[in-house]
Structure 1
């Protein structure tokens, strides 16, 4: 953490309400040339219109503010350790002002028609698509994922704005047949009120928009607290909202230490709902802390996803799915394939194919051409992966490919495939959050369903089989909130994303996602005879 004087010395403007240090396109990593991106479906052209400034202040009540103390938090590029920017380390008083701003804006926003709210959300959607390249480059620099994945994340987040712009017009109530002739019974849905959203570092844009979009569409106002490792993608959404004409105070973005900012959000009587994505341990803590104010809570927590390949599976499709869900974002996703179960008859063949694919993957900085696997987020992440691998190898597991830090050093780790694992290794019971694919052998369907369910988590699971009857029955038997059958891409605005058991409760996406941001009100009108 640095002082305000340190921040000013580093070149941040300190006059009036200037809130930006530089532009997203000013990076130390060379941009991909036209020839390098000509054949890429995810290539995005850089134009003057697509360049957005990098925010270095918090967005509160429609204004850009610094911390009262002047303290800041440095945001580093995990791919090279360079400074991307700084953000304020807000204290309790500034966080309370953000909550108060959201509370002050609530009446006007919830009384705006659903169509009026939808128009603002659609302007935000259009702005995000117009500025996809700048937003994606900023995301890659602070989080590390390959640019192609960052582009997909920006487009996915924009998709939630579009979906809920329309879904907000369909938060229907009920007209209930009366039990007496002299009265009428109606049920309406109203916004729950001020929402606090605490979000993780692995998807710093889309995870926020999954919460912002339904909250705003329902008529709520919101205070967002992003992860301190990746706050810039959240702050820049304040800039997008401002350009789109969102009224002051409807969206507020605050940065700072979790035990300071988070404590205020959880304790505030003005906050009526808390939505959180992160670890199960933190989720449990937030639920306990929210009990005194009886907040409504939504929790999208940790996962331990089984990826099951039956002996009749299309192997090419199964390997493609395993690569996609295991190595995306360097394995740092909550629905990543954490335990890959392959039936005995095809086990060696699958392991060989998966290892061959993993060995060919290009590891590098997210902005470097053709990068498929970027860095891990920090030193603790690297140490965790190394510890889990050491435990597995010590128990007799075989490293088929990878298994070490990548030769280019830093936070890069080789895409790794591990075979012949014992069920008792910590790889099978821990959310790995790294590019390590442990492959287990099984014999029968009953056996693999039992193994897959033998965890406290229940977020996502995957099944690969050409027998769709068997796949359907297995999907019903697996204790998970989401199951992909011959499909690895589960996240979409049109379907409910979320888990069961220790993976949390509540859903993001689909019509179910907006319900959590509304309250039911029963109105009984008498004297009708």
Structure 2
């Protein structure tokens, strides 16, 4: 293990092994072999990171930096991210198993998120109020909310970091960024770019570690003002409980069981590609995976044939190779969970058209799988499996399709495939989800807000409104009266 690459924590502008000198080994999902080690934060390390973040908010170097100057730092960070996209993508692929073709391209695109918020940094404005008291001048300003705890999972981590870090820094906050302890290498490498971009020490610290020693002390810390969390619902419940200790403003971007509705007039090739993108893209390891395919009964058979034909050309293999379409899953536990869930679904009458088994080779590989479900209660329609499993269920009417789409406690993504414009508007309006893609799937942009309903969380990331969520509104009253206050016992 001594020859493996090692990643340290980045706290208050310095690289450190952590106060407890705890080291963990990261497994390469494609080989099931340890490939790197990383330092883990202790509660003392969390305290140091937050103390630095709190201190820098009162440091003139950051506190008095103009919004335009903050924007220029973000532009520099964006350029560095773009320049290092291939390197960061390779690290993310080796650490998590996601395809290099996606990780490098996504990291390159993430630079635009930083550019977007760089441009917004000096566009956050206050308002002069038309107050009902003629001897008062009253206006509002927006100030940084304070210390932000940003927590990202291992999947799409460069993207999910940008949606938090971009608006937080543009607003003038300081950030303690916690990477997943499953595959943290790209985030710890990314910390070098923060340093190179010229942000003052303490503005951003990047740490990782387990729940007890890192995540819990971070989310319940009394000096944390804002928590931005992406992850699973169970962990989110703990985060919300922890936030009761500090009353931190909290946003949650959680998972889902997103529906894709395919109507009888849909273009079959487009619908098949949308379902494949929503289920086999990123090997199914996406919070917006469209794992509930709801298909009009009249086209179910032809659509299954079209999907099977396209799926037969899928290349499963080494995620570092450009010709690979589906790589390994991040953990062996995901493969086990999928196989168990498929077994239960078959016991409920589901039909597996192809796949259904783990691949007999080193690594955490699962064959792309298509399940035709016998009822809405089929296990694969209920469980978020985080793997390449597509489940299809027939419907007969538009009302039935909408009811099935909404029969879930989640509400993150959704898709509608139809050539009927009126239906597209009608159905997209009634599906309860934070995102609805029509005749496409898995499209993102820094301009478009991203977030869910119900157990898929609350709050929005990306878009203009996200930067406002990292500010507080201050109202300032200035008396313009020539006479002093008259009666101090009467409210004006």
After TM superposition, the score normalised by the length of structure 2 is 0.95
The one of 354, 366, 369 aligned to 1:401? 354
Tell me how far apart the structure 1 counterparts of residues 178 and 406 of structure 2 sit (CA, whole Å).
Answer: 33
Task: Judge conservation of contact 1:421–1:439 (CA < 8 Å) in 2.
Answer: no
Report the equivalent of 1:93. 44
Tell me how far apart the structure 2 counterparts of residues 63 and 277 of structure 1 sit (CA, whole Å).
Answer: 26
Does residue 335 in structure 1 map to residue 288 in structure 2?
yes
The one of 219, 230, 234 aligned to 1:277? 230
Tell me how far apart the structure 2 counterparts of residues 248 and 149 of structure 1 sit (CA, whole Å).
Answer: 32
The one of 171, 177, 186 aligned to 1:233? 186
Superposition RMSD in Å: 1.3
Deviation (angstroms), 1:279: 0.6
Q: How does 1:505-520 map to 2 (within 5 A)?
A: 505-520=458-473
Does residue 260 in structure 1 map to residue 213 in structure 2?
yes
Deviation (angstroms), 1:409: 4.4
The 10-residue stretch of structure 1 (208-217 or 150-159) with the greater mean CA deviation from structure 2: 150-159
Which structure 2 residue ranges, 5 or more long, are not aligned? 483-492
Secondary structure in 1 aligned to 2:414? strand
Deviation (angstroms), 1:69: 2.2
Tell me how far apart the structure 2 counterparts of residues 350 and 148 of structure 1 sit (CA, whole Å).
Answer: 27
Report the equivalent of 1:29. none
The one of 14, 30, 35 aligned to 1:63? 14
Report the equivalent of 2:429. 476
The one of 405, 421, 432 aligned to 2:385? 432
**Compared with structure 1, are the counterparts of its residues 10 and 509 closer, same or farther at alpha carbon in structure 2 (3 Å cutoff)?**
same
Report the equivalent of 2:30. 79
After superposition, the C-alpha distances for 1:437-488 in whole angstroms (9 at most, x for unaligned) are 0111000000010011011111111000001111111111111111111120
Deviation (angstroms), 1:432: 2.1
After TM superposition, the score normalised by the length of structure 1 is 0.89
Task: Judge conservation of contact 2:251–2:458 (CA < 8 Å) in 1.
Answer: yes
The 10-residue stretch of structure 1 (403-412 or 365-374) with the greater mean CA deviation from structure 2: 403-412
Task: Judge conservation of contact 1:222–1:252 (CA < 8 Å) in 2.
Answer: yes
Task: Judge conservation of contact 1:421–1:438 (CA < 8 Å) in 2.
Answer: no
Q: How does 1:183-198 map to 2 (within 5 A)?
A: 183-198=136-151
After superposition, the C-alpha distances for 1:10-48 in whole angstroms (9 at most, x for unaligned) are 147xxxxxxxx4xxxxxxxxxxxxxxxxxxxxxxxxxxx
Tell me how far apart the structure 2 counterparts of residues 231 and 313 of structure 1 sit (CA, whole Å).
Answer: 41
Which structure 1 residue ranges, 5 or more long, are not aligned? 1-8, 13-20, 22-54
Q: How does 1:212-251 map to 2 (within 5 A)?
A: 212-251=165-204
Deviation (angstroms), 1:326: 1.0
Tell me how far apart the structure 1 counterparts of residues 289 and 161 of structure 2 sit (CA, whole Å).
Answer: 19
Tell me how far apart the structure 2 counterparts of residues 148 and 486 of structure 1 sit (CA, whole Å).
Answer: 23
Does residue 504 in structure 1 map to residue 460 in structure 2?
no
The one of 72, 97, 103 aligned to 1:150? 103
Question: How many aligned positions are there?
Answer: 480
Tell me how far apart the structure 1 counterparts of residues 443 and 403 of structure 2 sit (CA, whole Å).
Answer: 23
After superposition, the C-alpha distances for 1:91-133 in whole angstroms (9 at most, x for unaligned) are 1111100111111111332421111111111111111111121
Q: How does 1:65-464 map to 2 (within 5 A)?
A: 65-107=16-58, 108=60, 109-464=62-417
Tell me how far apart the structure 1 counterparts of residues 63 and 416 of structure 2 sit (CA, whole Å).
Answer: 43
Secondary structure in 1 aligned to 2:291? strand
Task: Judge conservation of contact 2:9–2:206 (CA < 8 Å) in 1.
Answer: yes
Secondary structure in 1 aligned to 2:189? helix
